[in-house]
Amino acid sequence: MHFRLAGPGDIDAIVALVQSAYRGDSGRRGWTTESDLLDGQRTDADEVASIIARPSACIILAERDGRLIASCQLEQHDDSAYFGMFAVDPLVQGDGVGSRVLAEAERRAREDWGCRQIGMTVIVQREELIAWYSRRGYRRTGVLKPFPYGDERFGIPLRDDLRFEVLAKDL
């Protein structure tokens, strides 16, 4: 597996990977699915292009044998970084790919940007995912953020009690 930063030519592949990891029947093959919480899209080409174009952000790609198997968003905010839109191909989930991508994002935030902390938001109902991050040194901050109901760019909620919690880790 090797890492590289995404460019405009990767947008469609990133959208397809993120959608396959989080939504619909393909997402149900892996353990990171949100299919029971949300329907619709997880991201779109405009959002991915916007992230790639920002000087303070990037999308890290993980490839194996020339095939995209994982990606994540990394964005710098002063001396901290935001980690998001993390997707691992459902066919390779459980093989350690996610841990390696997360470690690469943390390394880049620390070494390339000088960040002292990295954070993310996770849907509070995703207890198994929060536990996975906790095993990798992330802590629940107790900071809750509302889910953007009515904005279908983030999906179509299947429940009315969704919200995010901020997780953080010192680098």
So what's the pLDDT on residue 133?
Answer: 97
Residue 13 located in a structural domain: yes
The total number of structural domains that make up the chain = 1
Specify if 71 maps to a domain.
Answer: yes
Query: 56-115: per-residue pLDDT in tens?
Result: 999 999 999 999 999 999 999 999 999 999 999 988 988 899 999 999 999 999 999 999
Residue 140, domain member (yes or no): no
pLDDT value at residue 81? 98
Q: Return the percentage of the chain with pLDDT > 70, whole number.
A: 92
State the pLDDT at residue 25.
Answer: 54
- Across the chain, mean pLDDT equals 91
Banded model confidence at residue 26, pLDDT cuts 50, 70, 90? very low
- The per-residue pLDDT for 154 is 78
Decide if pLDDT at 153 tops 90. no
Provide the Cα torsion 14, 18, 24, 26; round to 10°: 80
Kindly report the CATH number assigned to the domain that includes residue 54.
Answer: 3.40.630.30
d(CA 117, CA 96): 23
Asked if residue 144 is part of any domain, the answer here is no
Please check whether residue 137 lies inside any domain of the structure: no
Tokens of 22: 């989080």
Report yes or no on 95 lying in a domain. Answer: yes
Residue 131 located in a structural domain: no
Distance CA 166, CA 42 (A): 19
Q: Per the domain annotation, does 168 fall within a domain?
A: no
**Residue pair 124/165 in contact by the 8 Å Cβ criterion:** yes
User: Stretch 37-51: mean pLDDT, rounded?
Assistant: 89
**Residue 39 is part of which domain span?**
2-120
Kindly indicate the confidence band of residue 1, based on its pLDDT and cuts at 50, 70 and 90. Answer: very high
Give the model's pLDDT for residue 27. 45
Indicate the angle between helix axes 11-22 and 45-53, nearest 10 degrees.
Answer: 120
Question: Which residue bears the tokens 């990037």?
Answer: 58
